[in-house]
Chain A
């Protein structure tokens, strides 16, 4: 069974700093997808970034980038120049090509301090 682990329950950083959120996963599959979702206090879930396992190049979306280490089964999210609006819960998620099941980690609560 696939599992997703986020080892940092909560983090705080100063505005404009760079922060990295960790995610590891376990799977025997070779083809899969990884995601980071953001959940602000409004509770709405928002896709931040996605990565296909077959792509070696790390995905980037503006200030958000990932460090995908397939052999280590690691998928960390880097937020550069952090902003107050980045304050949210961040969830790592995983999906294989074999079925449509998408599972999530327990989340990291990120506080951006002014």
Chain B
């Protein structure tokens, strides 16, 4: 079972470059999320999507854009990367709102370094 798949797993960028992190889930989940994890900061929510066609800002949305392409896919774009965006990025999905269990299913993470 694939679950939540993120690509790429590793990426090195130069300041000012752009890139897109891709995320896909095969569990027919409604909600999808992008988090970033930094040492001492825990997981911080960047954007989330409660359903296909909707997106909402999380705690740290500045410098990012997202697209909920369809029910399966939720991409995160950095238009002009900055060193402060060096982080590990996690995509997650959940069955919300149907079941309201709230359990998140995570991808393996993508390590992004901005030089």
A-side interface residues toward B, CB under 8 Å?
6, 9, 33, 35, 37, 43-45, 47, 50, 91, 93, 95, 97, 99-107
- Residue in A33, A91, A101, A104 whose CB lies within 8 Å of B56: A101
In the assembled complex, which residues on chain B have CB atoms less than 8 Å from the CB atom of A37?
A: 104
Cα–Cα, bound, A105→B88 (Å): 16
Check A95–B102 contact: CB distance below 8 A: yes
- B102 CB contacts on chain A under 8 angstroms: 33, 35, 50, 95, 102
User: How many residues of chain B get a CB closer than 8 Å to chain A's CBs?
Assistant: 28
Hey, which chain B residues are within 8 Å of A106, CB to CB?
40-42
Say yes or no: A97-B101 contact (C-beta < 8 A), given A104-B42, A104-B44: no
A44 to B31, CA, bound (A): 19
Chain A residues closer than 8 Å to B31, beta-carbon distance: 100
Q: Which residues from chain B contact A99 at a C-beta distance below 8 Å?
A: 50, 56
Q: Which of B92-114 contact A (CB under 8 A)?
A: 92, 94, 96-97, 100-104, 106, 108-109
| Cβ contact within 8 Å between B100 and A91 | no
